[in-house]
Structure 1
């Protein structure tokens, strides 16, 4: 996508097509580092966010006939509260439930920001996307597993954060397949990785697994 457009209307940031109509389940999203620091500190093209500012990602579902099935919004930055303690600037992977989009043939994403000018959005329109999940049924086993187990690495304190709707065993393996540690988690829990060397690890939680980079 170019740096500028001749309109302030929404422009597709990316679009994903499915091989056949499927039911949308969800995906993980995170701020791009360039965007994160543009919001936190500002740059020559965009302003530092202050109270009242916001930056959001909008997912659009499209069916076989090319008709929009709905939208789902997620705020990558939300400074609208008058209380600064409530401000949010996304810095880690977060699960976004896309089931409201229903049966889709494609999903495309647009981005909106409070910081706009004559040429559209000043905030850089980039984001990170992972594990976009669809299903053959509106409520499937795959959807249940993904929704009930959420894993991400919190670099600020060197822990793997695990959130699960059910009691699960979370296990961490190094890239050689050696078990590093494991623990039971129900609700939310933290696995302390601060004593382990930097590298790539695999976290397995119930039927879900993901890689983290320490």
Structure 2
């Protein structure tokens, strides 16, 4: 697939570094079993340059968007247990994680474009037990005989300057659509979802859909849990914004990367692995050039294009 990029670059004077960082929500001070649901009127929560919006209604004591939680209850069904993950904590037994109540969609705003590598996703106790057993508002998944083809789907989209980046990513929090009922499942542990196909984004959006829909919309409780949002960014001691115009395709690549350099200046194309090590480079001039990637091992790489004025980078996959 051909992908065209007009990207923000930065002036480069010396070192090109890749930094990998995690949003793990442990930077919030919560007591045991505590939570933050926006009742302070802050409008959301910030961590490592990511903002998690929250809409709190003081009249009703209700919220949507994001909450931060240290709740551990994996047994109690119902709405009063809306802040617990079904794992009883965060990834690897960590104390804190994020919970989203999705009213239409939940978003994450990023201070400046980042490449988001992956994120850990899980069910909350409330939706998990609702799907497993059914409740006053929602059905038991699979129905009484287990044959109903039910599902609970999280859809994730990446955005840059208001435009969607790449295809949306779907993750089934529950899937009962299999012909063999023994394969049906409801997610009950933290699962890593790969988001690296988005390239650099300045926001993410999350929406939920379910097979259990009534006259007022989805019956399945519209919650999911998040932890360990991993992202990569490029560091330089003297970053300044600039713009470079280039097309790079295909992505994924098997034999060659086609690079259409639309600037009227010479440049250098360099490939780095995710540890920041230079793998290969070649000069660019205006027009299309082919960069041989046949010798690269299968995996993710970063293509950096540098001129006298600035640089840009984009991820690609070698198949």
Identify the TM-score tier after normalising by the shorter chain. 0.5 to 0.7
Q: Comparing both structures, which one devotes a greater share of its residues to helix?
A: 1
Question: Which of residues 136, 158, 174 is equivalent to 1:61?
Answer: 158
Indicate the residue corresponding to 2:134 in structure 1. Answer: 42
Indicate the residue corresponding to 2:175 in structure 1. Answer: 78
Show structure 2 runs of 5+ residues with no match. 1-63, 66-78, 80-102, 235-271, 277-319
Aligned positions of 1:148-187 closer than 5 A: none
SS in 2 for 1:136: strand
1:92 aligns with 2:189: yes
User: Retained in 2: the 8 A contact 1:23–1:103?
Assistant: yes
Tell me the distance in 2 between the aligned counterparts of 1:134 and 1:71: 18
User: Retained in 2: the 8 A contact 1:72–1:101?
Assistant: no
1:130 aligns with 2:227: yes
The root-mean-square deviation of aligned C-alpha atoms, in Å, is 2.2
Question: Which of residues 112, 116, 122 is equivalent to 1:20?
Answer: 112
Tell me the distance in 1 between the aligned counterparts of 2:200 and 2:175: 29
Greater Cα radius of gyration, structure 1 or 2: 2
Spell out, residue by residue over 1:104-155, the C-alpha distance to the aligned partner (whole angstroms, 9 max, x if none): 001111001011112111100100100112212696349xxxxxxxxxxxxx
Regions of 4+ moved over 2 Å: 137-142
Normalising by structure 2, report the TM-score. Answer: 0.40
1:32 aligns with 2:129: no
1:115 aligns with 2:212: yes
SS in 1 for 2:197: helix
Tell me the distance in 1 between the aligned counterparts of 2:119 and 2:164: 19
Tell me the distance in 1 between the aligned counterparts of 2:177 and 2:275: 37
Q: How many residues matched? A: 134
Tell me the distance in 2 between the aligned counterparts of 1:101 and 1:124: 28
Indicate the residue corresponding to 2:315 in structure 1. Answer: none
The structure-2 alpha-carbon separation of the partners of 1:57 and 1:121, relative to structure 1 and needing over 3 Å to count, comes to same
Tell me the distance in 2 between the aligned counterparts of 1:119 and 1:102: 36
1:103 aligns with 2:219: no
